[in-house]
Amino acid sequence: MKKTILISLFALLATGCMSTQKNWSATGGSKSDGTVKLSYQYGLFESPTVSEEQAIRLASKRCQAWGYSSAEAFGGITKNCNSPSANGCNSWMVTKEYQCTGQL
């Protein structure tokens, strides 16, 4: 009985920690500064996989709407806990900033 419970628990944890594809979403920015902020969130048992190509396309699209020709990554990422718990964090928000470049 204990062996079955342990195997079930291990299987649950193993499937919960699998890589999960996450998509970037526009969450802020400034037309006057020519910056775009993109974010995604993930939970405790997720191991997120993101596409930098998808992020550049999304940031460039926003920049093009403001009269710029493209975008490039600007600095690193920021990771903030958006669901704290007594044992740590249940969910994180990851944000990356992009600089609009060029003129149309």
- Return the pLDDT at 75: 84
pLDDT of residue 72: 96
Percent of the chain with pLDDT over 70: 83
Q: How far apart are CA 97 and CA 14, in angstroms?
A: 33
Query: What is the torsional sign of CA 48, 51, 54, 55?
Result: positive
**What's the chain's average pLDDT?**
87
Residue 69 has pLDDT above 50, yes or no: yes
> What is the phi-psi region of residue 88: left when phi exceeds 0, alpha when psi lies from -120 to 50, beta otherwise?
left
The mean per-residue pLDDT over the stretch 70-98 comes to 94
- pTM, to two decimals: 0.79
